[in-house]
Chains A and B, each alone.
Chain A
């Protein structure tokens, strides 16, 4: 009887297993089918990992470019390791292009470098846009780094830095902005019937070109511009929001030319102080430059 029961149990188990197996067949087939694809991805990740750890700088840059292109977030720690390694290497043109590739991958794969990592990269070359983008993910954590970076920034980078400080460390931002906030009142007194001279406008143009060393992937720059701009990612909200535009250069000689408009640090400070104080009024009597025209009559 006991033997009969255990045979029955085995039979039930076998039938159940067969039934389950039949029910699962399509899923199993799908897993089996995707095995080569998964294996291919795993092999590709391993290959990129080897590229990122290579001695050859172009090979490392291609590793970063591919990781960024294929959107492989599992490679973010490898990108960070490659960034740390690059930051300790002797300065060279190749190193700068390697860093362009690594920073682009770090941004797109949401790698989270420490403030020390950001400071080390900044010592290698001018990568303020990328470093600000990376710092913008956790402005509170990077507040001290942002404050140290601030004196070295200008125009959009300064606005972005201050916007991030206003969010990450508003008390420090207020102290720094107060130092910049000035109201200059110009009283122009002129005789009746006479016009007054207008204000001036200053602007400039920066231009140059960069030659990409042999063997490197396309070069990716990030340009900071005031919002709103299409196809750009928000970097720092504030009284003047700043966005970052990703620009891919496929050519070996990169020519650039950009207009430099006058940046009024005082007006920026006043606007951002109002933003921190949650004063969202479109107009304010507070302006860095106040011109009061006064027509003189002897009875004035």
Chain B
């Protein structure tokens, strides 16, 4: 599952870069930068496994 975490991390980084670029261009005041770390990512897990006896590891939120 670490690969999944990496992919989420890539998105999170892209979002952070976007927010930084908006702040640098003075179209987003620093105080209005989204507080939620910094992206509001909703993660939904669709567990389609036949055997769910082993619990899936936690993903970074």
A286 at interface, CB cutoff 8 A:
yes
Interface majority SS on A: helix, strand, loop or mixed? mixed
The answer to whether B4 touches A286, judged by C-beta atoms less than 8 angstroms apart, is no
The answer to whether A290 touches B48, judged by C-beta atoms less than 8 angstroms apart, is no
The answer to whether A274 touches B18, judged by C-beta atoms less than 8 angstroms apart, is yes
The answer to whether B21 touches A184, judged by C-beta atoms less than 8 angstroms apart, is no
Measured between beta carbons, the chain B residues less than 8 angstroms from A170 are 25, 27
Measured between beta carbons, the chain B residues less than 8 angstroms from A278 are 21, 25
The answer to whether B11 touches A286, judged by C-beta atoms less than 8 angstroms apart, is yes
A6 at interface, CB cutoff 8 A:
no
The answer to whether B18 touches A294, judged by C-beta atoms less than 8 angstroms apart, is no
Contact of B18 among A184, A279, A292, A300 (CB under 8 A): A279
B37 at interface, CB cutoff 8 A:
no
Q: For A196, give the chain B residue with the smallest CB separation.
A: B48
The answer to whether B10 touches A296, judged by C-beta atoms less than 8 angstroms apart, is no
The answer to whether A182 touches B40, judged by C-beta atoms less than 8 angstroms apart, is yes
> Smallest Cβ distance from A111 to chain B, in angstroms?
31
User: What 1/0 mask marks residues of chain B from 7 to 45 whose CB sits below 8 Å from any chain A CB?
Assistant: 110110111001001100111110010100001111111
Q: For B24, give the chain A residue with the smallest CB separation.
A: A277
Interface size on A, as a range, is: 35 or more
The answer to whether A190 touches B49, judged by C-beta atoms less than 8 angstroms apart, is yes
Contact of B49 among A191, A284, A285, A286 (CB under 8 A): A191
User: What 1/0 mask marks residues of chain A from 284 to 298 whose CB sits below 8 Å from any chain B CB?
Assistant: 111100101010101
Q: For B34, give the chain A residue with the smallest CB separation.
A: A178
The answer to whether A292 touches B7, judged by C-beta atoms less than 8 angstroms apart, is yes
Given the known inter-chain contacts A170-B27, A185-B44, please indicate yes or no for A191 contacting B22, CB distance below 8 A.
Answer: no
Given the known inter-chain contacts A183-B41, A185-B42, please indicate yes or no for A171 contacting B18, CB distance below 8 A.
Answer: no
> Smallest Cβ distance from A60 to chain B, in angstroms?
43
Measured between beta carbons, the chain A residues less than 8 angstroms from B49 are 189-191, 296
Given the known inter-chain contacts A188-B48, A194-B48, please indicate yes or no for A171 contacting B27, CB distance below 8 A.
Answer: yes
Q: For B46, give the chain A residue with the smallest CB separation.
A: A188
Q: For A192, give the chain B residue with the smallest CB separation.
A: B49
> Smallest Cβ distance from A84 to chain B, in angstroms?
35
> Smallest Cβ distance from B29 to chain A, in angstroms?
8
Measured between beta carbons, the chain B residues less than 8 angstroms from A194 are 48
The answer to whether B46 touches A183, judged by C-beta atoms less than 8 angstroms apart, is no
A186 at interface, CB cutoff 8 A:
yes
The answer to whether A187 touches B41, judged by C-beta atoms less than 8 angstroms apart, is no
Measured between beta carbons, the chain B residues less than 8 angstroms from A296 are 49
The answer to whether B15 touches A183, judged by C-beta atoms less than 8 angstroms apart, is yes
The answer to whether B48 touches A190, judged by C-beta atoms less than 8 angstroms apart, is yes
Measured between beta carbons, the chain A residues less than 8 angstroms from B3 are 294
Task: List 7 additional A-B contacts (Cβ < 8 Å) besides A183-B42, A187-B59.
Answer: A171-B27, A173-B27, A184-B44, A273-B22, A285-B13, A290-B7, A296-B49
